[in-house]
Amino acid sequence: MMTQVPRYHGWSLFGLLSLLVLLMTGLILLLNPDLVEATRSAIRATARTSFALFLAAFSASALAVLVPSPFTRSLVRERRFIGLAFAFSHLVHAILIYSYGQLNPEFWPGRTTVGNIPGSVGYLFILLMALTSFKTTARLIGPKAWKALHVSGMWVLAAVFTYSSFKRIPMSAWYVLPFGLMFSAIVIRLLGKIALKYKRSQPRAYV
């Protein structure tokens, strides 16, 4: 029985997701006559696309263990390209933040060094993980270092997203939703690890 390959997979999936991010950003900037407000809206929109893509990559392996299905298995199979699309979305997000800082001179002076630390650490891990998502660079650092970087990076980014949503809840109750989603994803990932460990500990049946 042949397994049907999705129409978009691998680099074509990455290309599609990246194109959608660019189209969304372009439309927001074109349709809003106020460039400053348009840039702010695009920043919020790319934050949401980055969040959605990160959730998919972060939860993929756990969902495949807890809810095995063709869809969850395809998430695991395409996790690398979903992760790269997340990195691209957050690159666009960073460019928009820089542009907003140029358009609004009061933006950067209003931010503190301490307040910039979580985002800066998050971007550092995104950069390192993206650079080591290719066979050549992954081979250079070795499998142990690769695994340590990507596992720790995913948890650091999960913490950054959780903290970023939590601290904004007093500003708007809507931030309860991303906070709850990220918290749920963390629980799902931990449950997936426990389930996988239990599954591996069970003796295999020999026929």
pLDDT of 206 higher than 80: no
What distance in Å separates the CA atoms of residue 89 and residue 153, rounded to the nearest whole number? 17
Q: What's the CA gap between 108 and 92, in Å, rounded?
A: 18
Alpha helices in 69-142 (DSSP H): 70-77, 79-103, 113-131, 135-141
Residue 201 has a pLDDT of 76
Backbone angles phi, psi at 86, to 5 degrees: -60, -45
In the chain, pLDDT over 70 holds for what percent of residues? Answer: 95
Residue 204 is predicted with a pLDDT of 61
* Nearest Cα residue to 56 out of 154, 156, 171, 176: 154
In this prediction, residue 2 has a pLDDT band, given cuts at 50, 70 and 90, of very low
| Contact between residue 59 and residue 189 where contact means Cβ atoms under 8 Å apart | yes
The mean predicted confidence, pLDDT, of the chain is 91
**Tens digits of residue pLDDT in 80-115:** 999 999 999 999 999 999 999 999 888 878 777 777
Cα dihedral 10, 16, 21, 22 in deg (nearest 10)? 120
Q: What is the pLDDT of residue 197?
A: 83
Look-up: residue for tokens 């934050």? 47
In the chain, domain spans: 11-200
- pTM of this prediction? 0.90
Percent of the chain with pLDDT over 90: 80
Tens-digit pLDDT profile for residues 138-152: 999 999 999 999 999
d(CA 193, CA 200): 11
Residues 51-88: tens digit of each pLDDT: 999 999 999 999 999 999 999 999 999 999 999 999 99
In the prediction, which pLDDT does 107 show?
80
Q: How far apart are CA 143 and CA 153, in angstroms?
A: 15
At residue 89, the pLDDT reads 97
> Under a CB-based contact definition with an 8 Å cutoff, are residues 155 and 176 in contact?
no
In this predicted structure, the answer to whether residue 1 has a pLDDT above a threshold of 50 is: no
Q: Count H helices and E strands in the chain, helices first.
A: 8, 0
Residue 4: in which H helix or E strand, if any?
Answer: none
Q: For position 5, what pLDDT does the model report?
A: 53
- The answer to whether residue 4 scores a pLDDT higher than 60 is no
Query: What pLDDT, in 10s, does the model give residues 37-49?
Result: 999 999 999 999 9
pLDDT at position 17, please?
97
The pLDDT of 121-136, averaged and rounded, is 95
CB contact at 8 A, 206 and 76? no
Tokens coding 169:
């809840």
